[in-house]
Amino acid sequence: MATEEASKPPSHPPYPEMIMAAIAALGEKGETDESAIAAHIESAYQGLPESHAALLSAHLARMTDDGELLFVEDNYVRPDPTPAAPPKRGRGRPPKPKPNPALTPIAAPAAPRPRGRPPKPKDPLAVAVAKAASGLPRRRGRPPKRVKVAQPAGADAGAAPSPAAVGVKRGRGRPPKVKPAVDVV
């Protein structure tokens, strides 16, 4: 018996049509809240399901979300068919338009960049000079310090030998300030 009732088509039009008809009929009075719409549908159509109140609420909520109806001051109204004035532009620079992916041509993905710093452009003259000057291969790393040779005594008699020339190893940092000798009288 329950299957016979479920399989038989309803004797009323779909809910969105009934809601729009009720709003059109009640719109002149200004009372288009949910209870007034439900009372109008119940008086106009027979054979409504037992869950009529829940179905009506669900359809009103869906139609409001879809923009078919507006909920203003506890009343449901149809939206104005004429478009409203364009929204006012806010302060500042307007955002850039989004590119339409359907209109842009599809380009092949670029090869990934190699890691590290890109090499400097090679100067052909500098490459030739380096090739000619490279008689012996150089060792890797920092070159060793050159050892200073002490000057012979007869080279420059007037100049005092520097500590580096004598072979005395200097300490690290700034040397201490030399104080003048004071004669005691």
Whether the predicted pLDDT of 28 surpasses 60: yes
Q: Dump pLDDT digits (tens) for 118-158.
A: 887 778 888 777 777 776 667 788 888 887 766 665 555 55
Which 3-state string (H, E, C) describes the chain?
CHHHHHHCCCCCCCHHHHHHHHHHHHCCCCCCCHHHHHHHHHHHCCCCCCCHHHHHHHHHHHHHHHCCCEEECCEEECCCCCCCCCCCCCCCCCCCCCCCCCCCCCCCCCCCCCCCCCCCCCCHHHHHHHHHHCCCCCCCCCCCCCCCCCCCCCCCCCCCCCHHHHCCCCCCCCCCCCCCCCCCC
To the question of pTM greater than 0.75 for the whole model, the response is no
Q: What is the pLDDT of residue 144?
A: 83
The pLDDT tens digits for 91-117 are 888 888 887 776 666 666 678 888 898
pLDDT at position 58 is 92
